[in-house]
Amino acid sequence: MDLELTAGDVAFRDEVRAFLSAHLTPELRAAGAALTSVFCDPRHSLPWQRILHAKGWAAPSWPREYGGPGWSEVQRAIFAAECARAGAPSLAPMGLKMVGPVIMGYGTPEQKAYYLPRILSGEDYWCQGYSEPGSGSDLASLQLRAVSDGDHYVLDGSKIWTTHAQHANRMFCLVRTSTSGKPQQGITFLLLEMDTPGISVKPIITLAGEHEVNQVFFDSVRVPKSGRIGEENQGWTVAKYLLEFERGGGSAPGLQVGLQRARRIAAAAHDDDPAHRRRLAEAEIAVTAIDISERRVLSALAGGKNPGPASSMLKINGTEAMQRVDELSIAGLGAYAWADQPEAREPGANAEAVGPSEGLVAMPRYLNNRAASIYGGSNEIQRDIIARLVLGL
């Protein structure tokens, strides 16, 4: 793996930088600076997605045949790094990075033709219906029933921790269509519309005071079978494929920006504590190792293959490094790490603003990212996957 940029790579990097400089407005940069998780409010992420879509850059990992730019692994890494450094707001991952690749891999030609352009344009905004009360990392125990009724399934039950369900017009959902055999054998993967009668969304306000997640209830909800991805009772295979994309890679640029933030905080506080400097150095080593690992995995994935168990390794290292970097920012801010003014985190109408003070977002970011080592399958589960699939234990 050659980590040196070629002349063509440098030219591409300069093109990306020029584009970001020309199109990232102060308001969009402020929205990026106010992020406390990977999810940006669609008031800001969707306008940015439309700008990228007009350029053909909304889905860096998508192949050209489905509307992506057809970039190399190096180009994708350059683009992610430059967006992170420029402070661009993140795009919603549920469509572009999760259900989009699943539709490419398992969808019918009709489903691909209908859904993929709408994902690219942002016309469809997706949420994920996986976890349920009592079914988190043990996802195979889910109980949301889907009873066959002619050309429809009738859904009864609930989903929980459903990120941005209050904004989404569509959901990709795991449902139980059979109770015979192993639990994994009775699960089906469905696409559904959130305005279907019988669906209700109830907010869950986090410890950070934010409304990002929800519980979604299904009361005799009729979903057309045309929304099924793959065969009935074969949704577990589809779900595992999606989780590999949810878990794997792409965290290094954000970690590098977070580490730079922690260093700025320490410098502003005139923090000369040797122990804190040592922790910053250790975090930098970890982030550098993650960067190299992600590049190695990307290099090995030429041809559009899914990442497999490598996604578990990247998920563990990336989320735990993220939490370590958050802790360094909190430690550097000390008593100024928490300001109970959620409205101050809004980018607001001031177009000249370039972002909120770190004291307003550091603690919400820390609290939100405590869940990073749990969602997408807890890191303990990821270690089990590595032990089984890589080490053969």
Active site residues: 246
Residue with tokens 């603690």: 363
Which helix (H) or strand (E) segment holds residue 256: the answer is helix 252-268
* Dihedral sign (CA 144, 149, 152, 154): negative
Cβ–Cβ under 8 Å, residues 226 and 108? no
Distances (CA, A) of 74 to 142, 211, 382: 39, 36, 26
Phi, psi at 356, each rounded to 5°: -80, 165
Classified as helix, coil or strand, 304 is: coil
**In angstroms, rounded to a whole number, what is the distance separating the alpha carbons of residues 19 and 24?**
8
Give the integer Cα–Cα distance in Å for 28 and 43: 10
Whole-angstrom distance, CA of residue 31 vs CA of residue 178: 44
Rounded Cα distance, 337 and 260, in Å = 17
d(CA 102, CA 106): 6
Tell me if 71 sits within 8 A of 29, measured CB to CB.
no
Q: Report the alpha-carbon distance of residue 266 to residue 341 in Å, rounded.
A: 23
**From CA 93, how far away is CA 75, in angstroms rounded?**
19
